[in-house]
Amino acid sequence: MKAPSGRGGAPYFPDHGDGGYGVRHYDLDLEYRVGPNRLGGTARLSAVAAARLDRFALDLGAFRIGKVLVDGGPARFRHRHGKLHVTPVRPIARDAAFTVEVRYTGNPSPVSSLWGGLGWEQLTDGSIVAGQPIGAPSWFPCNDRPGDKARYRIAVTTASAYEAVANGRLVERRRVGATTTWVYEQDEPMATYLASVQIGRYQFLELAGPVPQRVYYPSAAERRVRHDFGRQGAMIEAFTRLFGRYPFGAYTVVVADDELEIPVEAQGMSIFGTNHVDGARGQERLVAHELAHQWFGNSLTVASWSDIWLHEGFATHAEWLWSEASGGEPAAAHAERWHARLAEEPQDLVLADPGARHLFDDRVYKRGALVLHALRRVVGDEAFFRTMREWTAAHRHGTVTTGEFTALAGRVAERPLDAFFTAWLREKDLPPLP
């Protein structure tokens, strides 16, 4: 088994992640009691050492640790300030495969951040996981850096009155007494922040389209949900034509029975609040945005958070492309309007390295989208959309950097684009639209 390359890291969040190893597979067995918000878990991680490891660290919130095993044997550990430091009986050799098992219990709570609590959150009647960018340790021990992608098995046992929805394929559902266990397998590599479990009293429906689509929702919202997500299949067809084939086997939407500040993407899944469905498609741009993240963010994941525009700029641009494809305003109209608005904003943000505090600044989203629209104008539709399709194909289920995208765009256009990308990505002042 090949050792991790060491790509990635988290300069914006130096307390998260450990570059000394890479995880290849997470096996999570979870038991959750909704009322008391009580979670018990056994996590088994299969990993490969990037260097000799006398000890290593996992990211994990304020749980009580029952036991830690390395390669089946007890290991010493210390758990504080969100880090589980593990010292195996014998050092792990470089390039060696090893396993870690952690048994833990407690009341999951969101990870504190610049943007409020992130991760596992108790709803009025159920729970939600909104992990971006550092919320994963709120519910399972992990190597919490975006470039360390792994495969997952997630088993959730909870009261049978609830539906448990997680990433990947539902491979087993078994009821024993008053509880049901749901087992999901995520076959494609996934970043920790995209791992998700949604628990609620949901109905579900299946939508027509080129890939299987399932929507979970509170029964009172059925009419609104059917209408507001009624064009999602057409969106997938449009984005497949523009960006290349849909990267996963299916797509799941969860409409939580609570109001949420913003929708949340997870791998193969998006989560909305009841406030995002009005029965009039008033928030359809958000449906397009979260769907686009399946290509840009979930299949292609940044190696470092400094390149967040490769997620949010691309998904915002996809909103404009859907507007254009569905008979609404053309992308050019959206671009002109947002360029005028951004020109009035402070010119103090470097798009390709905005800093942790500005990671989700609206200027990252809109200026990122403007970069792509400007590139389309400079190189023409044929070269632009060929770049997009080659981009998603070349890095499917991998990690990406800004440098890789700009190099590809230049090769496809067969012309130097260094000055163009420097102005848009590396300088603070907003360039004029071409």
What value does the mean pLDDT take over residues 18-27?
98
What is the residue extent of each domain of the chain? 1-197, 202-294, 300-426
What value does the mean pLDDT take over residues 355-372?
97
Alpha helices in 259-380 (DSSP H): 284-292, 309-325, 331-343, 362-379
What value does the mean pLDDT take over residues 396-410?
98
* pLDDT-based confidence at residue 429 (cuts at 50, 70, 90): very high
pLDDT, averaged across the chain: 96
- Percentage of the chain exceeding pLDDT 70: 98
pLDDT (tens digit, 9 = 90+) per residue, 279-338? 999 999 999 999 999 999 999 999 999 999 999 999 999 999 999 999 999 999 999 999
| Region 1-197: CATH code | 2.60.40.1730
| CB-CB contact of 147 with 399 (8 Å) | yes
| CB-CB contact of 81 with 16 (8 Å) | no
Is the pLDDT at 2 greater than 60? The verdict is no
**The pLDDT of residue 11:** 83
Is the pLDDT at 1 greater than 50? The verdict is no
**The pLDDT of residue 4:** 37
Is the pLDDT at 379 greater than 80? The verdict is yes
| CB-CB contact of 262 with 315 (8 Å) | no
What value does the mean pLDDT take over residues 124-145?
97
Token pair belonging to 109: 């709570």
**The pLDDT of residue 365:** 98
Rounded-to-integer distance, Cα 288 and Cα 322, Å: 7
pLDDT (tens digit, 9 = 90+) per residue, 33-73? 999 999 999 999 999 999 999 999 999 999 999 999 999 99
| Region 202-294: CATH code | 3.30.2010.30
Top-level CATH class of 300-426?
mainly alpha
Is the pLDDT at 9 greater than 70? The verdict is no
